[in-house]
A = this chain, B = another copy of it.
Amino acid sequence: MPHTDPEDRTRDRSRTEDAILAAARAVLIEKGFGGWGVNAIARAAGCDKQLIYRYYGGLDGLAEALGTEMARDIVTALAAVPVPQLNTYGELVAAMIDAQLHVLQGHPVMQRIIAWELSEANDLTRAFAAARSQALLGWFTRVKGDIATPPGIDAPAINAVLIAAVQQMVISSAAIGSFAGMPLAEPADWERLRMTLRHLALAAYDAREPAK
């Protein structure tokens, strides 16, 4: 029976490609970028490491694939933000911050990649950071056209600071479960952070923030 069903073939390139990609994610999540190598990934994927070189061109190509996935996930998350309902600049920023917090918190691969960027400066990590910046800034410039930018305020800097806080808090929570004495484990902790970020965004932009 030479013509077997593609589903239960023992030799299926696309299947092993998926297995390698999944293993690449799993190893990155479990061991971090320090333990992210061909041997560990091949072991986790249950195949020979040679296939990583054949199908992805080695670690670099595999990392690129993860970066592409990450950028796509950010775009997807931002696309779900209900922009038309936001009528002030502060509300828009608060929504963006909220989306960023949400997607990053549920995305351990992105968390590891960000920690990677912060630890090693090379072409790969620079490409990671650029992809995320582009996804964020692209969405924002595309959306802010509808809403007036407050005058006399350094909006890009404030937005960068808020995004930076989100990143640091989420990455720190994954590593040690808290930050500067503020616990980051229970859902209530995250709600507290969410409210704080919203408060800051509104206080920075909208003259009178609504009572909470």
- The residues of A with any CB-CB pair to B shorter than 8 Å are 32-34, 115-121, 125-126, 129, 133, 136-137, 153-154, 156-165, 167-169, 171-172, 174-176, 179-182, 192-193, 195-197, 199-200, 203-204
Contact = CB atoms under 8 A, between A and B. Distances in A.
Q: Give the copy number.
A: 2
A179 B197 contact: no
A118 B118 contact: yes
Contact of A164 (B125, B137, B169): B169
A200 B115 contact: no
B157 A192 contact: yes
A65 B39 CA distance: 34
A160 B181 contact: yes
Chain A to chain B: the 6 pairs with minimum beta-carbon distance, closest first = A164-B168, A168-B168, A165-B165, A160-B182, A157-B196, A160-B180
A153 B209 CA distance: 13
A166 B174 CA distance: 19
Contacts of A203: 200, 203-204
A139 to B, nearest CB: 12
